[in-house]
Each structure stands twice: as C-alpha cells, then as structure tokens.
Chains A and B, each alone.
Chain A
Amino acid sequence: GDSVTQTEGQVTVSESKSLIINCTYSATSIGYPNLFWYVRYPGEGLQLLLKVITAGQKGSSRGFEATYNKEATSFHLQKASVQESDSAVYYCALSDRGNMGYKLTFGTGTSLLVDP
C-alpha cells in the first residue's frame, strides 16, 4: 500500500533560521501521486498548506516551499526564515487512486516549535 514517511517527530528552530522537514513517499498507483503538506496550528483544524500534482514542480505558500522529486520520491518542506507563528504540526500526504476513488495517505506529522 501507499506510505508517507516523516522522520522527525519534533523539530525546534530559532526564529529567523531556516527549516527543512523531510518527507518521502511510496505510492502504488501506475501514475504519479499528488503530494500535499497540511498544517495544524494550535487550536485550529487541519488545513491545506500547499500541494503539487506534477512531478518536478514546486509548490509554495506562506513562505514555505516543497518540490516534487519523483526520482528521490521526496517532497521536503522548506522555509528560509521561520517565524514564531509557524509553530504547528505539519503533515505530508499523498493522494493515490484506490479501488474506488482517491484516498489521502498521511505521514505521522512533524511538530515544529520556533523559539523566539
């Protein structure tokens, strides 16, 4: 089956420093899966941060970027300079065709804490 791996359960970064959250995936579909980053800010529901549906393309939102690397099967999330307000839990996910329709498979999440 499909799987998404996030190796870091928790990351602490000082404000204004750079960030990378790792994500690798494995998909069973014949084509390429769609890739997503979702985020849950404290006290809020899970929401889409960015998505990329074409291999080789980059998605961006709120200063975050992620590039769909099909050779490395990776979709790492990066930001050049984090802010305290970026403290949240980040989930990498892929959508792949199941027996009936698509379904979204999530990684285990990475909790980001930005020190002021």
Chain B
Amino acid sequence: GGIITQTPKFLIGQEGQKLTLKCQQNFNHDTMYWYRQDSGKGLRLIYYSITENDLQKGDLSEGYDASREKKSSFSLTVTSAQKNEMAVFLCASSMGASAETLYFGSGTRLTVL
C-alpha cells in the first residue's frame, strides 16, 4: 500500500510570515489536493492538481499558492499568515481526476501567533 506524508506535523508562524507545507505520496496517483479543516466548518478545498505542473483553484484559494513540480509532491504556501489563525491542512491524492476515492495524509496543524 501507499502512504501520504505531510510535513511538518505542527507549524507555528508569525503574523505576515510566508509558510510552506509539503506533501509527498507514493501511490503514483495523478491528482493531489489541499484541504483546510476548521472546527465546525468541515473540509474546504484550497487547490488541486490533476497532473504534474497543473494547478486548479478550489473554493478557498485566496491567500494561498501551490506548486506541483513532481507527480509525487504537492506543496502549499500560506502567502501571509493571519494572526490567531488556527487550522489543520490536509493533503490527499486520488488515482485519476474523477475523485472516486481520496487518500489523506495525517495533516499539518497551523498556529499563527
């Protein structure tokens, strides 16, 4: 079986700081996703990528950049962290572009001081 590895597990930043979250998958999946999870708000899609070097905006892309330089990796950048921001960022992958079944990483918990 495969695995999705997210680093770091915990990320603490300062207001205004640029912060980067990384995700690696060894499923050889085509499509990768970044979701943000806030308490009581479920998961909201930030960016997804259906192949290497492709980027598609989700519902919550403002304030974020993403990069898919390799098929196996997908990084997310918070361009300017907001004070008191706290959320969990989840990376996922799926075999094709049909989102039939997503496999998730364990998440990166962000805290902004």
- Report A's interface with B, CB cutoff 8 A: 1, 4, 6, 9, 34, 36, 38, 44-48, 51, 53, 91, 95, 98-109
Q: Which residues of A contact B4 (CB under 8 A)?
A: 45
- Given A45-B105, A100-B56, A34-B43 contact (CB < 8 Å): no
Q: Which residues of A contact B90 (CB under 8 A)?
A: 46
Q: How many A-B residue pairs have C-beta atoms within 8 angstroms? Tell me.
A: 67
At the interface, yes or no: B70 with Cβ under 8 Å from chain A? Answer: no
Q: Which residues of B contact A109 (CB under 8 A)?
A: 42
* Distance between A80 CB and nearest chain B CB, rounded to angstroms: 25
| A4, A6, A44, A100 pick with most chain B CB within 10 angstroms | A100
* Distance between B26 CB and nearest chain A CB, rounded to angstroms: 15
Q: Which residues of B contact A101 (CB under 8 A)?
A: 31, 48, 50, 56, 97-99
A sample of 24 inter-chain contacts (CB < 8 A) reads A1-B59, A4-B42, A6-B42, A34-B100, A36-B101, A45-B105, A91-B43, A95-B99, A99-B56, A100-B54, A100-B56, A101-B50, A101-B98, A102-B98, A102-B99, A103-B45, A103-B48, A103-B56, A104-B33, A106-B42, A106-B44, A107-B42, A108-B40, A108-B42
